[in-house]
A = this chain, B = another copy of it.
Amino acid sequence: MQRLTPQEEQCARDLLETVPIVMRMIRKQVRKHGASTLSVPQFRTLSFVNRRKGASLSEVADHIGLTLPSMSGLVDGLVTHGYITRKTQQEDRRKMNLMLTERGEKMLHVAREGAVTELSERLKRIQPNERATILRAMRILGEVFPEEKL
């Protein structure tokens, strides 16, 4: 653990201050458009399963960054709401096969597009070069924190 430059430190402090605020905004939008029934982790789970159809529980837990029991419970909720199906794999009967239902696909789409639209409305207020800065920052952060990636 080496000495920190002021810039490194200030950058960290700003992240610590700003990210939770943006997170709260995102949570609000996802809930609003997810008919009040989707949390952010549920939303991210649907999103992942949509891209990796048939993923196992462990795979999803890894990518979302939850423990297996936590993910198991989270998926319980998604199954109960009819957004996901959970079937035992034939090749290895210890593993699950997760798939979105039609209802789940619809909900994911509605929640995502709703949240994107509202966030975009906010982002209209700033200048194009400012949006470009945010975009670049998100790409950089995505590389700095890769193991926690969606």
Contacts and interface: CB of A to CB of B under 8 A. Distances in A.
Contact of A119 (B12, B121, B139): B12
Given A10-B135, A18-B138, A18-B141, 5 more contacts: A4-B120, A12-B117, A16-B115, A21-B142, A126-B144
Contacts of A121: 1
Query: What is the count of identical protomers in the complex?
Result: 2
Interface in A79-122: 112, 115-117, 119-122
Interface string A126-146: 101011111111111111110
Interface of A: 1-2, 4, 7-26, 40, 44, 65, 112, 115-117, 119-126, 128, 130-145, 148-150
19 contacts: A4-B117, A7-B131, A11-B131, A12-B115, A12-B117, A15-B26, A16-B115, A16-B119, A17-B142, A17-B150, A18-B138, A18-B142, A24-B65, A25-B145, A123-B144, A125-B144, A133-B137, A134-B137, A137-B138
